[in-house]
Amino acid sequence: MNLTDYVRQISREDFGKEFRHQAYWNHRLTTTGGRFFPKDGHLDFNPRYYEADLVLFRKIVRHELCHYHLYFEKKGYRHKDRDFKELLKAVDGVRYAPPLPAFDTVDYLYRCQQCAQVYPRKRRVNTAKYRCGKCRGLLVSIDKRNQSLG
- Is 67 annotated to bind a ligand? Reply is yes
One-letter-per-residue 3-state SS of 18-77 = CCCCCEEECCCCCCCCEEECCCCCCEEECHHHHHHCHHHHHHHHHHHHHHHHHHHCCCCC
pLDDT in tens, the chain (150 residues): 899 999 999 999 999 999 999 999 999 998 899 999 999 999 999 999 999 889 999 999 999 999 999 999 999 999 999 999 999 999 999 999 888 876 667 789 999 999 999 999 989 999 999 999 999 999 999 976 544 444
Q: Has 21 been labeled as part of a binding site?
A: no
| 93 lies in the same domain as 60 | yes
**30 and 67 in a common domain:** yes
CATH of the domain at 76: 3.30.2010.10
Query: What is the CB-side half-sphere exposure of residue 107 using CA atoms within 13 A?
Result: 4
Q: Quick one: pLDDT at residue 103?
A: 61
Do 97 and 119 lie in one domain? The reply is no
What integer pLDDT is reported at residue 143 of this predicted model? Answer: 74
Verify that 28 and 86 share a domain, yes or no.
Answer: yes
Sign of CA dihedral 144, 145, 147, 150: positive
With helix as H, strand as E and coil as C, how does 34-46 read? EEECCCCCCEEEC
Same domain, 110 and 89: no
- Annotated active-site residue in 13, 64, 73, 86: 64
Q: How many domains does the chain have?
A: 2
Which pLDDT belongs to residue 60? 96
- Cα–Cα distance between 142 and 19 in angstroms, integer? 53
Between the CA of residue 64 and those of 37, 96, 140, what are the distances in Å?
A: 10, 11, 48
- pTM above threshold 0.85: no
> For residue 147, what pLDDT is reported?
44
Same domain, 90 and 27: yes
Task: Based on the residue annotation, tell me whether 51 is a catalytic residue of this protein.
Answer: no
Range of the domain at 7: 3-102
